[in-house]
Structure 1
């Protein structure tokens, strides 16, 4: 069975920051809109993060991320949990500093919440720019 996107309109997303609080121009929704021209742009900081709360339990197997070169994360740590539990580490991935869509296989896990921390930014000020983010797997 092919892995499908588990991110849906009912998925609640949160981010650590938005550049200059300009959510209309750089908000989190732009990671999921399918438009190659729009992006989430974080503000400055050493570690940026994103959380996704799914409306139902999902089985995750892969994450896809497209950064803007020069504003990428050299290390992403993924955490997950079921409803009512504490987050625990699932995986660490090491993206390249490029504009291309990158896919990372994950150990299959059943989750209600996923957190991705963007660590060690290639930008001197710690900013992260994400044009596309998706989580693949299956709905239960």
Structure 2
């Protein structure tokens, strides 16, 4: 079966050795905040739009810093769909709350996330990258 790329963008917020994740109402798992890149958008534009939709936060474009790209099986999609996610660092200073398709937002350390009933492959890969790069312990 031919692999299909699913372009996405993710918000990386690290605080107190924990990563900010959002709980998807639809897929019942903790994900990086962000989402799919729509036609005509780049990952940066998609992230600004998705964060406004998910947690009602208008990000200042200059406050985002590209961190890395993650390729992983797209959780909850057909097995031939590969998530291609550009991840951007953001220093969160605002109070946030879930809205739209996000049920909850919470900070997780990697050990706590690993105890969740579902671990999304791309999130696990991001944790591993953050640990390897010294952003998390």
Q: State the TM-score bracket (shorter-chain normalisation).
A: under 0.3
Greater strand content? 1
Greater helix content? 2
